[in-house]
Amino acid sequence: MKVIDPHIHMISRTTDDYLQMAVSGIHTVTEPAFWAGFDRSSANSFHDYFRQLTVEEPARAARFGILHFCWIGLNSKEAEDLGLAEEILGIIPRYLDRPKALGLGEIGLNKNSRNEIKVLEAQLALAAQRNELILIHTPHLEDKLKGTRIIMDMIRSEPRIDPSRVLIDHAEEHTIGEIKDRGFWYGLTLYPHSKGSPERAADAVEIHGSERVCINSSADWSVSDPLATLKTANEMRRRGHAEALIEKVFYENPKAFLSQCPKFETR
């Protein structure tokens, strides 16, 4: 089968991961800008990071026959320093112009703070001005529902943004319904100790259907699995779901969403 992983942090992974993905059927990935596990200290750090996402990592992936695309943005975990955030917002457009950049992401909220909201508002305005796709990070644990609602209200208050061009990621059982009802795409993240599992993702597809859902591994520098999408596909197969449905969820759906950006292609 063919799989597109629409959210995976390959700069954190090894070449062995690329090889395993390639031989298993994952031939296209998109990598959002994210928090590195520590706060970067200057705008120069972001210049280097955005160059890695737009130039170096696509070249590394190509050695294994994998198409690598990226998203550019300021993650909410680094949005509290408004001075630094303003500098980063000033350099983001030049990297969005790179041929492998698909849009703004992953942007959103972490603790639902005033500074996070202010920086998100600025990035949504930039996305609206440029008509970019948007990949949203939602808070974890007890702040998820509140943060998801704040984010959706902010997006819907910007008339230039079409909800069908927004993927709200890290959705869970208590947020999926509202995300779909308001016209957005939603992402299910397969992260072992927090966001989800193959079983929970399969349950969600059975309950909410296969429309406007993208399932991703979000594999990064913490405990995570770059083959989690394939394991979820196998869980659906074990439950008796048709191959056509599995292909829709893991290939056709992300292809449909990402293809709204003319830069995107897949195998």
pLDDT in tens, 2-27: 999 999 999 999 999 999 999 999 99
DSSP 260: T
Please indicate, yes or no, whether the overall pTM of this predicted structure exceeds 0.95: yes
| Residue 200 near residue 206 (C-beta atoms within 8 A) | no
Please tell me the predicted confidence (pLDDT) of residue 119.
Answer: 98
Structural domain includes residue 217: yes
Residue 128 maps to a domain: yes
Give me the number of domains the chain comprises.
1
Confidence of residue 233 (pLDDT cuts 50, 70, 90): very high
Write phi, then psi, for 136 (nearest 5 degrees). Answer: -105, 135
> Looking at the predicted structure, is the pLDDT value of residue 193 above 70?
no
Q: For the domain that residue 41 is a member of, what is the CATH number? A: 3.20.20.140
Tell me, what's the pLDDT at 194? 67
In a domain, 265, yes or no: no
User: pLDDT tens across 81-95, in order?
Assistant: 999 999 999 999 999
Whether residue 141 is predicted with pLDDT greater than 80 in this model: the reply is no
- The share of the chain scoring above pLDDT 70, in percent, equals 99
- Does 207 map to a domain? yes
The answer to whether residue 267 sits within a structural domain is no
How much is the pLDDT for 41? 87
Tell me if 263 is assigned to some domain. Answer: no
The 10s digit of each residue's pLDDT in 236-266 is: 999 999 999 999 999 999 999 999 999 999 9
pLDDT at 260 (0 to 100) = 98
Identify any residues that bridge with 216 across adjacent strands, giving them in sequence order.
189
Domain-embedded: residue 27: yes
User: What pLDDT does 207 receive?
Assistant: 97
45 pLDDT more than 80: yes
Mean pLDDT of 88-107: 98
**H-type alpha helices, the chain:** 15-24, 43-51, 57-62, 82-96, 114-130, 144-156, 176-181, 198-208, 228-238, 243-247, 253-258
Flag whether 35 is in a domain: yes
Q: Which domain holds residue 222?
A: 3-258
The mean pLDDT of 197-208, rounded to a whole number, is 97
Segment 207-222, tens digit of pLDDT: 999 999 999 999 999 8
State the pLDDT at residue 36: 86
